Structure 1
Amino acid sequence: MDALWTSRTSDSDPLPDDGRFDDIVVGAGLTGLTAALLLARAGRRVGVVEAREVAAVTTGRTTGKLSLLQGTKLSQILSAQSREVAQAYVDANKEGQQWLLRFCGDHDVPFQVRDAVTYAAAERDLAKVKDEHEAARSLGLDVRWADQLEVPFPLVGGTVLAEQAQFDPMDVVAALVDQLRAHGGTVHEGRRVVGVSRRGAPEVTLDDGHVLRADNVVLATGMPVLDRGLYFSKVEPTRSYIIAFQGAEVPFGMYLSVSSPGVSIRSVPGDADSAPALLVGGAGHVVGRTRSESAKLDELREWTAHYFPGATETHAWSAQDYSPPDGVPFVGKLPRGGGRIYLATGYDKWGMTNGVAAALSIAGQILGKRPEWAETLGSRPLRPRGAARVAAINAGVGVAATGSFARAESKKVSVPAGEGEGNVGRDGVVPIGASQVDGKTCQVVALCTHLGGALRWNDAEKSWDCPLHGSRFAPDGKVLEGPATKPLVQHEVLADD
């Protein structure tokens, strides 16, 4: 599935002969590139190490909304944390938004100013939106209430925050890469980190055997690729879907429904070669825990066909993010990292503001200028409601583990062209994943290389997805997303398999 956004970055830089940096940033998305630029501006020798390509994962597949009104996020945080923490979250996102808008203005990155709207499509959901409206007002956001808005879909009330922004995320990424290199930083694509030592100055081991050294390491990989701190057990991996359409009259604004089905709507300006586009997103689920990813896309298609008749699909894609137990991202020093390894995770689909805020926090901590709001967020306790959510996340993992192994060990199936399934190996124990995509047949041991979860076939993206902690693999076993860092074991394709 191809995203509407296309890469605008240049070739990878060579690794330095001495393998030495002041700071190594792992992950070339918005968080990693922003943190790297901030550190490079301070005169430090910075290298960004990316397993795939720049913005290959969430940043390059986001909707590109830069908004302080984020669905029901603020009321969610207030239900699980103190008002001080909720205010710090708003302050962090506001600073992240302002920094990125200044960066766009300074470097001719186009963006559009739009109203952000959280709305209810049915009367039964009005209370949720009103709670968010009051939460936003109490935390200093200048929201207004609207009983009706001129839109073609059901809307019985919404809270509106003016002067938010949207953009093409790849425009931003390209400018960040250019500025990073202008300040002496480097970007190293196709280099997967498989380990980081924790004694003294960190040593970073790559999958090709190279060892890099730095004073600090920043893990900006969505889910941290190191298990220290057990963040894979504290956040829940979710995938959601986005489809681009043309031929529709696009509403002016960025909309997010709290009703079922929850949909996200925004426009994309046209240019000399294309008409304006409509983006419709949503249909989210925990990674690897749905019967059919293609069916999730069909939900969005059906909704759009009903309310935007005549719209023609041009692109469809999905993205992965991680939901924290109290609504607040985890940002700061990695436990058992020797005080030199930093992480950021848990943006809960609001990475455009949170990602920049995380970069500001981490770079500030390394440079000795950590923002006040970062101190509040970093030292927050996990209150009972958040602890209960962690327990629920891990209970879901347990159920998924039991169910996936039962399915994997109970059947062997034939594989139609372009599909895949978990099969039982010859010994009746090891699940074998077989797929045939674009005429190529692959068989792999369908056990996640992170903690051994039995993988499920993603019929929309032709990938093997782990229902435990969200690792994803290509049909041939290559890692697409962590926390796994090692590829799947290949299984020989035999004539009578």
Structure 2
Amino acid sequence: MDSIWLDPRPGIATDLFVPDGHYDAVVAGAGLTGLVSSLLLSRAGLRVAVIESRFVGAGTTGHTTAKLSLLQGTTMQEIRKNFPAEVAHAYMEGNKEGQSWLLRYLDEVGVPHQSRDAFTYAVDASGREQLEKEAEASSEAGLQIDTLEDPDIGLPYAVAGALVLRDQAQFDPVDVLTALCNDVRARGVKVFEDTRLTGAGNSAPVEITTSQGLLFADTLIIATGTPVLDRGGFFAKLEPSRSYLAAYTGAPDGRPFPQGMYLSVGNPGRSLRTATRHGKPVLLVGGNGHPVGAGSPSAAARDLDLWAKEHFTVAERTHAWSAQDYRSVNAVPFVGPMPRGGGRIHVATGYNKWGMTNAVAAALRLSTEILGEETPWGAVLAHRTSGAAALAETGKFNAGVAKGLVTGWAHALTESNSRVAEKAPDDDEATAPGRTDGRVVHDGVHPVAESIVDGRTCRVSAVCTHLGGILTWNDEERSWDCPLHGSRFTPSGILIEGPATSDLKPADDRT
């Protein structure tokens, strides 16, 4: 499950952690939002440190398709359903500014990027209705896109209709992170990898607890995908999802890959773009997104691979990976001061799979506000009020979470929960090379996550360390995933991502 952008993992220079440092601003998360925010603040003369729980690029930015596009599927009609027109317009203005800033920056530092036409397309009549709504909502928000009737948009299968926005952009996202990291460090910013944010006070200065030690800052920015501090209840306003991607080389005698950036409406969704690998074109295929912890991830990845091989002339699948995204239940990202943070803690989350433009827009907005000013579009978004549709969607999502919590515990306490045979494997079967499976069993009243990976058995607590959800086995990535709010753990219980801040305990640890 290696991202094409992280193969090989880039050798980005970072800094050794020094405890008890005091900074004007500490940024948690070395993705696009975090590094652009640190650059903007350091340009203004602030002393900044960036902390990253794993390594630069390990999160969503390093696993994205990296489409820098203002044409964003059905986003604008979703926003318009939840908010008045001025909010949709402000969202689009922020995205336009984010896109323009990033393109200028890439040109300044010499990071390659390619101009591409962006297409949103439908394969049936119901999808065409969504295209019409999206075109109308986009136009109202100040984005003029073209509608194509019965189009030939370069795909090897028929489509029922499409929207097109010319001259959008694509790039290698890890190239961008590398340039940003080098830039900020040259300006004196400290970048600490393997440093997980675990807590923060709200008095001045903010006392920041990390896995490596304490830091102090006048301002803390949390740009960690989903906030790892529960103040404000953002976990209850974000729907975590996983989607799958693969990269393919073309057959020598096959049809050339389509050169646009494509996204389908409806289910299952499909995302397409090209990239260059070792000087040769490769096709990136994405889709089959689902809520974290639901269904069989292995089946979803396998179905995507079969679809790609059915519709395109491919020679080899060179990479396969997945990404985790967080959707704001009202379709507009949450950016700004965190409740109960004393005005010193800020957050950016909920990009709904459009992180390239939204990440930069968030960084522009946060840095401007921290420096005592405000963008016109940011002011509108900051004071938006959710409408009835958004409130209903939030209620629906949290009702599902509550149901999942109850049913997860009920299942864990009554029977094994497994995507493999329910019988326990015998000794020879359990130690067989390559054998992988996982299930939740009960040990008295203690749910246990029991896995076998390449013959090694691990038994850890099956209770998520965030809010107590029962974990499910991810049969594609060999991880334990929480269906409530998206935290993920390795078979041995080490935290990978999500709102949780601590590892799972061993199964025999009752403390």
**1:176 alignment counterpart:** 180
**1:61 alignment counterpart:** 63
Q: Which moved more, 1:274-283 or 1:305-314?
A: 305-314
Structure 2 CA distance for aligned equivalents of residues 140 and 8 of structure 1: 39
Q: Which moved more, 1:404-413 or 1:85-94?
A: 404-413
Query: Is 2:245 the counterpart of 1:242?
Result: yes
CA contact (8 A) 2:272 2:285 kept: yes
**2:207 alignment counterpart:** 203
Query: Is 2:233 the counterpart of 1:230?
Result: yes
**2:159 alignment counterpart:** 155
**1:253 alignment counterpart:** 260
Q: How does 1:253-332 map to 2 (within 5 A)?
A: 253-270=260-277, 273-290=278-295, 292-332=296-336
Structure 2 CA distance for aligned equivalents of residues 380 and 17 of structure 1: 39
The amino acid that maps onto 1:223 is: T
Equivalenced residues, count:
487
Residue 192 (structure 1) shift = 1.0
Q: How does 1:176-195 map to 2 (within 5 A)?
A: 176-195=180-199
CA contact (8 A) 1:9 1:177 kept: no
Query: Is 2:441 the counterpart of 1:423?
Result: yes
CA contact (8 A) 1:122 1:259 kept: no
The amino acid that maps onto 2:492 is: D
Cα gap change, 1:310/1:200 in structure 2, threshold over 3 Å: closer, same or farther?
Answer: closer
Alignment root-mean-square deviation, CA? 1.5
CA contact (8 A) 1:289 1:400 kept: no
Q: Which of the residues 53, 73, 76 maps onto 1:74?
A: 76
Residue 9 (structure 1) shift = 4.1
Residue 18 (structure 1) shift = 4.6
CA contact (8 A) 1:450 1:483 kept: yes
CA contact (8 A) 2:19 2:215 kept: no
What does the per-residue CA deviation read over 1:263-295, in whole Å, with 9 as the maximum and x for residues that have no partner? Answer: 00111134xx342111111111111122x1011
Structure 2 CA distance for aligned equivalents of residues 154 and 432 of structure 1: 48
TM-score w.r.t. length of structure 2: 0.93
**2:372 alignment counterpart:** 368
Q: Which moved more, 1:452-461 or 1:135-144?
A: 135-144
Q: Which of the residues 402, 406, 411 maps onto 2:410?
A: 406
CA contact (8 A) 2:438 2:449 kept: yes
Q: How does 1:373-392 map to 2 (within 5 A)?
A: 373-392=377-396
**2:113 alignment counterpart:** 111
Q: Which moved more, 1:398-407 or 1:39-48?
A: 398-407
TM-score w.r.t. length of structure 1: 0.95
**1:3 alignment counterpart:** 3
Structure 2 CA distance for aligned equivalents of residues 18 and 139 of structure 1: 46
Structure 2 CA distance for aligned equivalents of residues 118 and 17 of structure 1: 48
**2:419 alignment counterpart:** none
For structure 1, the 5+ residue unaligned runs are none
Structure 1 CA distance for aligned equivalents of residues 196 and 314 of structure 2: 44
The amino acid that maps onto 1:213 is: F
Residue 393 (structure 1) shift = 0.8
Structure 2 CA distance for aligned equivalents of residues 311 and 261 of structure 1: 24
Residue 105 (structure 1) shift = 0.4
**Identity rate of aligned residues, in percent?**
48
Residue 387 (structure 1) shift = 0.4
3-state SS of 1:363 partner: helix
What does the per-residue CA deviation read over 1:458-490, in whole Å, with 9 as the maximum and x for residues that have no partner? Answer: 011111000111111111111111200010001
Structure 1 CA distance for aligned equivalents of residues 19 and 135 of structure 2: 55
3-state SS of 1:436 partner: strand
Structure 1 CA distance for aligned equivalents of residues 177 and 413 of structure 2: 44
